[in-house]
A and B are shown apart, each in its own frame.
Chain A
């Protein structure tokens, strides 16, 4: 058995998917170059208002309640990808029959998902979840399913052997409906030839008084073959629901992208959040349909290039969609300028695969608050890198660990408070230079994999050094070449007579680099007003200055 998912009036459905609030209004989609723009597709409300495809845009604009939208191939391609995701969520054997249609092989699926009717309803609901109002039909062969999906609204299940009766009431036009909509894929010449051919056949059938498939199926085969040739026989087989062919399965690419082109540019981040929420919901629904999570989100904003708005933009040329490779978790913003638009890219890398639209929205909001785009936004493009869901089994006796989703949000919020590079875990570098470490992302899951529990009880405490950042510049008084008194103007408690000292301990390095360093270190006890404290005093041998680096505490 085969199922067909068909989205009627696909250009309008693609727009409704991006802007669901338009569903209740009369909408017309136009295309063409100004001033020769023509209405390309309309919804039912617009049709009732007298708007028809082919009408000039200027003429359609006279209808006050009509909402006009330009045809967006980007949104159509995204809707098509969602349609394939819907089909792929039930079976791996899926044929990409047309931009608005997908065929699914249901062989062996009944044991997994229930009866055919149940599967059909599930497909219908899944398509609705992905924002598509689809017709779903199930039949014993792909062509019968295709015709039923085009002809009947909602869910249709044709039992095996009853194809002719079920399809009989459909008009003959349904046999030629697919040809017009494939025009983007076919060559122009071939498309025109097919259109002429189908128009001739339709006119012939009309002349014979053949209105529906039942009448076509009842015609004598030899007589039909004599008059219309093999094409006539093929159409009759289709009308009887007896055509047989094998499915041509495709592997749907694991590309999860959503985009919105805005009629008016957005300036504030708050309205942007609403649109991001919608995009994230759609991306997450598609990922969930394929049982996938994501570990990386790429947000690309096409900005209106205003003169003098962003003089620091770097010109990188025109980017490709996947040209947002960054090394950091929250990668630095990148701007691209192409023509009158510049693009602003942000990449959100997650430590673990996740699928939570609300969490993603919050993280993107925090990121955009910290790195605002700097210009009005005209187009939003969001891409998610798919990843397998993490599989982990919790244990009763594992040490407490923060939930990854909560932790990610907490880290993003703290990064917003103290700055991104000032929160994370520490990685020591192989150097003797002071401050020989770097900050990196805190990933407790990776840390927990290290299954070594050190017993700290038996170990004696290690005296710690507390650093002053930045180093405290000190004035040192020498008596007979010995340290006698240290005064720090910036920190008044770090001053006094030197009670005791050891040193100097000399170290140097990187002399082959521009950032060479050489210093003498002293451990000193300073007599303050009311206490004695131990400090590390540093003499910079290259600069000649004295600093208090820290205190032993």
Chain B
């Protein structure tokens, strides 16, 4: 975008002239030539601009109507088919936010995305603010651990770990070459996460732009504001349970929004002894809150997908 040219011209009080395609561009008359015609230079200049519309100095300015439409980013699989159906996948060269409370499936989605990226043969990074990754879960989710760089922040205070996360992310973005850079801010207190200046997210977005890297942030609440191209909100709907022997026992519903404990319903069958039940499935709802990938605003959409526990296969 030639905003610098525009502001310069505006500062000089000159009008803009856009040259149509195919129009012949004539060189602008020099000041000496204009003066020899016996007219005041200023008048001569403005006349030439308004009359010919062929000022070569403005040839580089493109009219807003002719601005090229930004190419849509390449989308890659998030590792969960239902999520791909909802969002179209994860965009390369953009920041994607996944937010939700504890047990809402954020880490499940994160590991699925890492598994998909490493499965494509790409090197991926997990910058872990709370040192919360369970390698066994990652391996069960299908993450190629050889291709995953794990940066474990959070040895000290949340503030210190946040600082480490931001600096490490800067270095990784500068280094380049990674298919997916995931920032896990899921256990960070909201107050600490909100201390990240918006300029930092702008910087990250700018650094990842025009690169084949997917920048993914997992957090409790959206904190990147308009810097994120995609915002998905997750929530837990119900638990799938089986009786040992893999006979389906039933489900435990979390209520309509999944956040009202008093709405939680339990079937009477759960009166079985605790060691006779097995948690097999979490049903998660995903809501597409915001997408800036298309030029038109998207309508909020919601899907539900199930994630199985590692022992349930």
Cβ-defined contact, B120 with A399, below 8 A: yes
B42 within 8 A of A: no
CB neighbors of B among A527-552 (8 A): 527-528, 530-534, 550-552
Cβ-defined contact, B149 with A532, below 8 A: no
Cβ-defined contact, A553 with B121, below 8 A: no
How many A residues have CB within 8 A of the partner chain? Answer: 74
CB neighbors of B among A420-472 (8 A): 422-428, 436-437, 439, 442-444, 446-448, 450, 453-469
Cβ-defined contact, B239 with A534, below 8 A: yes
Cβ-defined contact, A446 with B108, below 8 A: no
How far does the alpha carbon of A129 sit from the alpha carbon of B172 in the complex, in Å?
36
Among the stretches A249-257, A281-289, A409-417, the one at the interface with B is A409-417
CB neighbors of A among B42-73 (8 A): none
Other-chain contact of B168, A417, A448, A503, A523 (Cβ < 8 Å): A417
Given contacts A418-B168, A532-B261, A553-B186, contact A450 B102 (CB under 8 A): no
Q: Which residues of A contact B81 (CB under 8 A)?
A: 457-458
Given contacts A424-B150, A453-B120, A461-B308, contact A403 B261 (CB under 8 A): no
Q: Which residues of A contact B144 (CB under 8 A)?
A: 447, 450, 454
Cβ-defined contact, A553 with B107, below 8 A: yes
Given contacts A399-B122, A469-B131, A504-B275, contact A456 B108 (CB under 8 A): no
CB neighbors of A among B272-292 (8 A): 274-275, 277-279, 281-282
Other-chain contact of A425, B80, B104, B132, B149 (Cβ < 8 Å): B149
Cβ-defined contact, B168 with A402, below 8 A: no
Cβ-defined contact, B148 with A425, below 8 A: yes
Which B residue sits closest to A432, measured CB to CB?
B136
How far does the alpha carbon of A460 sit from the alpha carbon of B112 in the complex, in Å?
9
Given contacts A422-B155, A461-B80, A462-B141, contact A444 B108 (CB under 8 A): no
A493 within 8 A of B: yes
How far does the alpha carbon of A265 sit from the alpha carbon of B180 in the complex, in Å?
47
How far does the alpha carbon of A166 sit from the alpha carbon of B21 in the complex, in Å?
75
Given contacts A418-B152, A499-B264, A500-B252, contact A402 B105 (CB under 8 A): no
CB neighbors of A among B174-229 (8 A): 174-179, 186-187, 212-213
A401 within 8 A of B: yes
How far does the alpha carbon of A424 sit from the alpha carbon of B309 in the complex, in Å?
27
Residue with the greatest number of chain B CB neighbours at <10 A, chosen from A403, A406, A458, A465: A465
B140 within 8 A of A: yes
A525 within 8 A of B: yes
Cβ-defined contact, A553 with B103, below 8 A: yes
* Majority DSSP secondary structure for residues of B touching A: mixed
Residue with the greatest number of chain B CB neighbours at <10 A, chosen from A410, A419, A447, A534: A410
Cβ-defined contact, A500 with B270, below 8 A: yes
Other-chain contact of B77, A402, A413, A427, A456 (Cβ < 8 Å): A456
B151 within 8 A of A: yes
Q: Which residues of A contact B106 (CB under 8 A)?
A: 553
Cβ-defined contact, B282 with A534, below 8 A: yes
Cβ-defined contact, B308 with A426, below 8 A: no
Q: Which residues of A contact B41 (CB under 8 A)?
A: none
Cβ-defined contact, A467 with B179, below 8 A: no
A55 within 8 A of B: no
Other-chain contact of A407, B133, B135, B177, B278 (Cβ < 8 Å): B177
A501 within 8 A of B: yes
Number of A-B contacts (CB under 8 A): 252
Given contacts A399-B120, A418-B168, A464-B110, contact A532 B80 (CB under 8 A): no
Q: Which residues of A contact B109 (CB under 8 A)?
A: 461
Chain B nearest CB from A545 CB (Å) reads 20
B9 within 8 A of A: no
Cβ-defined contact, B306 with A461, below 8 A: yes
Q: Which residues of B contact A550 (CB under 8 A)?
A: 132, 134
Cβ-defined contact, A461 with B133, below 8 A: no
Other-chain contact of B135, A423, A437, A443 (Cβ < 8 Å): A437
Chain B nearest CB from A525 CB (Å) reads 7
Q: Mark B110-131, 1 if CB is under 8 A from A, else 0.
A: 1110011001111100000011
How far does the alpha carbon of A419 sit from the alpha carbon of B154 in the complex, in Å?
11
Which B residue sits closest to A403, measured CB to CB?
B177
Cβ-defined contact, A453 with B102, below 8 A: no
Which A residue sits closest to B92, measured CB to CB?
A400
Chain B nearest CB from A369 CB (Å) reads 15
CB neighbors of B among A487-534 (8 A): 493, 496, 499-505, 522-523, 525, 527-528, 530-534
Other-chain contact of A462, B101, B239, B241, B309 (Cβ < 8 Å): B309
Q: Which residues of A contact B147 (CB under 8 A)?
A: 425, 444, 447-448
How far does the alpha carbon of A531 sit from the alpha carbon of B254 in the complex, in Å?
9
How far does the alpha carbon of A411 sit from the alpha carbon of B178 in the complex, in Å?
13
How far does the alpha carbon of A552 sit from the alpha carbon of B133 in the complex, in Å?
11
Cβ-defined contact, A527 with B116, below 8 A: no
Cβ-defined contact, B134 with A466, below 8 A: yes
Cβ-defined contact, B261 with A527, below 8 A: yes
Which A residue sits closest to B140, measured CB to CB?
A462
Given contacts A426-B135, A525-B239, contact A531 B102 (CB under 8 A): yes
B310 within 8 A of A: yes
Chain A nearest CB from B283 CB (Å) reads 10
How far does the alpha carbon of A467 sit from the alpha carbon of B137 in the complex, in Å?
10
Given contacts A422-B151, A503-B274, contact A402 B308 (CB under 8 A): no
B167 within 8 A of A: yes
How far does the alpha carbon of A454 sit from the alpha carbon of B116 in the complex, in Å?
8
How far does the alpha carbon of A458 sit from the alpha carbon of B84 in the complex, in Å?
12
Given contacts A464-B110, A503-B274, contact A531 B261 (CB under 8 A): yes
B37 within 8 A of A: no
Q: Which residues of B contact A505 (CB under 8 A)?
A: 275
B145 within 8 A of A: yes
Chain B nearest CB from A537 CB (Å) reads 11
Given contacts A417-B164, A425-B145, A502-B279, contact A399 B306 (CB under 8 A): no
Please name 19 further chain A to chain B contacts, defined as beta carbons within 8 Å, in addition to the given A417-B168, A457-B84, A552-B103, sorted by A numbering: A398-B121, A402-B177, A423-B150, A423-B151, A425-B149, A428-B136, A437-B135, A454-B119, A454-B144, A459-B115, A460-B306, A463-B108, A464-B111, A466-B187, A468-B187, A496-B261, A532-B264, A533-B102, A553-B105
A-B residue pairs in contact (CB < 8 Å), sample of 11: A409-B175, A418-B153, A426-B145, A446-B146, A453-B121, A456-B119, A461-B105, A463-B281, A532-B258, A533-B101, A553-B103
5 interchain residue pairs of minimum CB distance:
A402-B177, A447-B146, A454-B119, A461-B307, A553-B107
